Copies of this chain bind each other. A is one copy, B any other.
Amino acid sequence: MNLKRISTLALGALMAMGLYAQQNLSWAQMPVVSPEVNADNSVTFRVLAPQAQKVQITGDMLPTRKIDTPMGKYDAPGVADLVKDDKGVWSFKTGKLPSELYTYNVVVDGVRTLDPSNVYCVRDVTNLFSMLLIGGGQGDWYRVKEVPHGTVSKIWYNSPTAGLKRRLTVYTPAGYETSKEKYPVLYLLHGIGGDENAWSELGRAAQILDNLIAAGKAKPMIVVMTNGNISQEAAPGETPNGFTVPTLMLPKTMDGNFELAFPDVIKFVESNYRVKADKNDRAIAGLSMGGFHSLYISANNPDTFGYVGLFSAAINKQQTSGVESERVYDDLYGKLAKLFAAKPKLYWIGIGKTDFLYKDNADFRAKLTAKGYPFTYMETEGGHIWRNWRIYLTEFAQKLFK
């Protein structure tokens, strides 16, 4: 940047950020472009690091590596070494990539961090990742397009059952503020370690709904994204606990308490938004732990939801702590008998072929089939990953409220 050509105000802004000062440091960082999506949908990553010994990237756009885990072989995100040029710029070019949203990290001399040239990042549970998006296919559902945009709100509600004020993300479709209409509601639940931000950030829920509604492929609907960690008021950093290290395993997770407190969410939504408050205008869906929650919330409330979506869902209870709230997991098939007797409009199951929960889901599907309960099934490539959950939301949302 030519400092003589920019305004005093811009120079002041650079100084305010401490960036002007970099010019005076030996580690001054000149701009490189990274990531660069090339015309053929390959991507070039670049890191200016003349003093580094080794620079790598790891991310879901690289060929996976087979690794051993206690649960068997697993396809882990790949790693690539960048190559240094004579100006100290390290680079790596991928092959041509499918249209998708990708997440990655840069590793500088063994330190895993973000791409220093990319300001777009997202937190997935305990870690930050840099992001990039390749359009021209599935990824186009995740892009911001020139279409009417819904509103995304962070709003607090009272959960007397949990004894907490708790935070929600609510998507209201374009036109909600000015129309007099009532809307159907999709309750959309995150996985273990996630929170009320997960579906709107990694899940691209607002972009998916904006684009599907604008294309006439989904009905305008409200999407309510809850926080499924019942001991927690809100996402890390959004509670009185401050900027604490996020925890993968929170207390009271999957012990029935979230499921029992769920009616508080519905009550809040139905008394604060213009919604159609009947079974066939309510859907519930979730990924992984959120699929588990959706399974048991719908089973325990067989007349509440006309649509149920289980995305790479955990089916079986993971552990028993013996608390009374765990009754919500008892007699699943007795409860499902009531649910299917009430004829839900859609019972939808999606899972990836290499998901570690594949067998549990296959067993569950076999039981539903044996009992003659109708369901819709989608099987995709890959495992327990956000790529699949975005695909499932894109598919599921098109089938709702029609």
Contact = CB atoms under 8 A, between A and B. Distances in A.
Given A69-B11, A143-B240, A177-B155, A127 B56 contact: no
Contact of A193 (B10, B51, B272): B10
Protomer copies:
2
A59 B65 CA distance: 38
Contacts of A117: 245
Contacts of A265: none
A226 B250 CA distance: 37
Interface in A225-266: 234, 236-240, 242-243, 245-246, 248-249, 254
B177 A109 contact: no
Interface centre among A110, A116, A155, A383 (most CB of B within 10 A): A110
A49 interface: yes
B318 A76 contact: no
Nearest to A241: B144
Interface string A384-396: 1110000000000
A384 B49 CA distance: 30
Contact of A19 (B126, B144, B192, B318): B126
Contact of A119 (B48, B107, B236, B319): B236
Interface stretch (A23-31, A335-343, A361-369): A23-31
A20 B113 contact: no
A97 interface: no
Interface string A169-193: 0000010011000000000000111
